[in-house]
């Protein structure tokens, strides 16, 4: 999705764009998910994005998504998020019988094919059929959503943590909740756009999908969607959306790649670089570059643009910190920044530091998210 506030200057003189992504690491249902085994109905899943599989067992889970029915109609599905609704779960093996499991590596002791979600346990009333527990689940789905088993094939259903976000810490300074990578940025970006009026440049908030699996496909940052959106804006503001004008706009455009940063976790301090990594509660983290090792796959903002952003934040009293992603040889990662930069825009990564990133319960600081809102607002108004 993209939203814009039209500015005073024509788009060919540049724009202010903030890109976040609204997909999160999770489990997806497979195309043929439903089966019955030992008197239980289960759903087969496939994990999406960088997850530690063992974090998804023994916790309350919900189902969310969209199903395209056989007749072409579409229905949204949501089960397990409201407090009075049933939840789903993937039980872990009891410790009494887990001797072999406990000897395996963390990446292997919950194999992908073991992420099977329990969704039913009571049989359908007729005794004349097999798989009566599965049939009962199908009956309930038919009644609630008017869907058949084949409809799962044309569905996008995500298995996500069922708990709501909560205040965390005795002082309530933190937020513990699922999906803050990157919805913390998406939220702050949207609230900043709502606060943007009479800006010099057109302000654009774009919310990408598929970032967690490498920005692939027609809803991702590598798609032509932004180009189409810009052409649309030009057409509606009296500028010919020629390829020359689009080029000009992109090369005069300024962007923030709004994505979370890794906050130093004091318990695992040895993988961080304490002089350069982000700290929770120290403001929005500016990441001049991402990537891994010798800046492989990095998108790096140049000195001038980094300086411009720094001065902008300082002039508006926004609390910020510089950040990298851990020790050089520990790992690394990327964002959508390089795809924006490839189109010609000046681009820098920024966002709130997060503890427990990509886990079902990520932790952020309220102060940092407030600073993101203020930074994004300053940027849109620049
Ligand atoms: Zn992210």
Quote the CA–CA distance of 230 and 24 in Å, as a whole number. 26
The Å distance, Cα 17 to ligand 1 centre, comes to 17
The Å distance, Cα 334 to ligand 1 centre, comes to 8
Pair 23, 211: CB distance under 8 Å: yes
Q: What SS3 class is residue 22?
A: coil
Tell me: the pLDDT tens digits for 349-382?
999 999 999 999 999 999 999 999 999 999 999 9
Query: What is the structure's pLDDT at 138?
Result: 97
Q: What SS3 class is residue 254?
A: strand
The Å distance, Cα 148 to ligand 1 centre, comes to 35
Q: What SS3 class is residue 16?
A: strand
Can you tell me the mean pLDDT for 243-253? 97
Query: What is the structure's pLDDT at 35?
Result: 98
Question: Which residues 6+ apart lie within 8 Å of 104 measured at CB?
Answer: none
**What is the DSSP track for 121-175?**
-S--S-SSSS-HHHHHHHHHHHHHH---GGGGGGEEEEEEE-SPPEEESTT--EE
Q: What is the pTM of this model?
A: 0.95
The Å distance, Cα 132 to ligand 1 centre, comes to 42
Can you tell me the mean pLDDT for 158-169? 97
What are the distances in angstroms from CA 227 to CA 212, 254, 289?
A: 22, 15, 24
Q: Which two tokens stand for residue 329?
A: 């040889």
Pair 78, 62: CB distance under 8 Å: yes
Q: What is the DSSP letter of 267?
A: G
Can you tell me the mean pLDDT for 294-298? 89
The Å distance, Cα 214 to ligand 1 centre, comes to 11
Quote the CA–CA distance of 196 and 194 in Å, as a whole number. 6
Quote the CA–CA distance of 237 and 234 in Å, as a whole number. 5
Query: What is the structure's pLDDT at 48?
Result: 98
Percent of residues, the chain, with pLDDT higher than 90: 93
Tell me: the pLDDT tens digits for 301-317?
999 999 999 999 999 99
The Å distance, Cα 260 to ligand 1 centre, comes to 6
For residue 137, what pLDDT band results from cuts at 50, 70 and 90?
A: very high
Tell me: the pLDDT tens digits for 330-345?
888 889 999 999 999 9
Quote the CA–CA distance of 209 and 191 in Å, as a whole number. 19
Cα dihedral 182/315/380/305 (nearest 10): -80
The Å distance, Cα 181 to ligand 1 centre, comes to 5
The Å distance, Cα 133 to ligand 1 centre, comes to 39
165-187: b or e for each residue (b if 16 or more CB lie within 10 Å)?
beebeeeeebbbbbbbbbbbbbb
The Å distance, Cα 66 to ligand 1 centre, comes to 23
Can you tell me the mean pLDDT for 230-259? 97
* Residue 152: CB atoms within 10 Å: 18
What are the distances in angstroms from CA 200 to CA 197, 203, 213, 247, 261?
A: 9, 9, 35, 20, 29
* Mean pLDDT of the residues in the chain: 96
Query: What is the structure's pLDDT at 222?
Result: 96
The Å distance, Cα 213 to ligand 1 centre, comes to 10
The Å distance, Cα 237 to ligand 1 centre, comes to 32
Can you tell me the mean pLDDT for 29-37? 98
Query: What is the structure's pLDDT at 363?
Result: 98
The Å distance, Cα 87 to ligand 1 centre, comes to 26
Query: What is the structure's pLDDT at 303?
Result: 98
Lowest mean pLDDT among 3-7, 187-191, 253-257, 291-295: 291-295
Query: What is the structure's pLDDT at 231?
Result: 97
Query: What is the structure's pLDDT at 147?
Result: 97
Quote the CA–CA distance of 1 and 5 in Å, as a whole number. 14
For residue 326, what pLDDT band results from cuts at 50, 70 and 90?
A: confident
The Å distance, Cα 272 to ligand 1 centre, comes to 18
The Å distance, Cα 119 to ligand 1 centre, comes to 30
Query: What is the structure's pLDDT at 61?
Result: 98
Pair 102, 93: CB distance under 8 Å: no
The Å distance, Cα 14 to ligand 1 centre, comes to 26
In what helix (H) or strand (E) does residue 358 lie, and over which residues does it extend? none
Q: Which two tokens stand for residue 355?
A: 């503890």
- Name the strands in the sheet holding 155-161, side by side, starting at the edge strand that comes first in the sequence: 74-79, 61-68, 155-161, 26-37, 40-48, 116-120
For residue 329, what pLDDT band results from cuts at 50, 70 and 90?
A: confident
The Å distance, Cα 151 to ligand 1 centre, comes to 31
The Å distance, Cα 261 to ligand 1 centre, comes to 8
Query: What is the structure's pLDDT at 22?
Result: 97
Can you tell me the mean pLDDT for 45-68? 98
């Amino acid at each position: 999705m993209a939203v814009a506030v039209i500015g005073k200057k024509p788009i060919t003189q540049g724009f202010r764009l903030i890109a976040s992504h609204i997909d999160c690491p999770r489990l997806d249902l497979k195309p043929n998910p439903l089966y019955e085994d030992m008197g239980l109905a289960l759903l087969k899943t496939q994990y999406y994005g960088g997850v530690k599989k063992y974090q998804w067992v023994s916790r309350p889970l919900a189902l969310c998504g969209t199903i395209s029915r056989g007749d072409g109609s579409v229905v949204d599905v949501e089960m397990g998020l409201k407090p009075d609704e049933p939840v789903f779960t993937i039980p872990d093996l009891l410790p009494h019988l887990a001797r072999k499991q406990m000897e395996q590596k963390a990446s292997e002791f919950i194999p992908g094919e073991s992420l099977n979600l329990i969704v039913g346990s009571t049989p359908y009333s007729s005794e004349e059929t097999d798989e009566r527990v599965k049939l009962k689940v199908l009956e309930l789905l038919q009644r609630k959503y008017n869907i058949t088993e084949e409809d799962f094939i044309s569905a996008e259903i995500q298995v996500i943590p069922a708990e709501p976000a909560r205040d965390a810490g005795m002082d309530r300074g933190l937020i513990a909740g699922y999906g803050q990578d990157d919805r913390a940025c998406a939220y702050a970006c949207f609230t900043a756009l709502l606060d943007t009026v009479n800006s010099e440049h057109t302000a654009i908030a774009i919310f990408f999908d598929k970032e967690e699996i490498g920005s692939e496909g027609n809803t991702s940052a590598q798609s032509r969607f932004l180009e189409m959106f810009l052409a649309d804006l030009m057409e509606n503001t009296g500028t010919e959306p020629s390829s020359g004008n689009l080029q000009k706009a992109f090369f005069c455009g300024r962007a923030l790649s709004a994505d979370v940063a890794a906050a130093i976790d004091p318990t695992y301090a040895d993988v961080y670089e304490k002089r350069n990594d982000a700290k929770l509660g120290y403001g929005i983290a500016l990441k001049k570059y991402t990537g891994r090792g010798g800046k492989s796959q990095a998108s790096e903002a140049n000195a001038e643009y980094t300086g411009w952003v720094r001065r902008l934040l300082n002039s508006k009293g926004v609390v910020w910190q510089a950040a990298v992603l851990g020790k050089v040889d520990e790992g690394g990662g990327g964002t959508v920044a390089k795809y924006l930069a490839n189109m010609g825009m000046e681009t820098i990564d920024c966002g709130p530091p997060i503890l427990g990133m990509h886990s079902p319960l990520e932790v952020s600081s309220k102060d940092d998210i407030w600073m993101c809102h203020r930074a994004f607002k300053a940027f849109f108004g620049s």
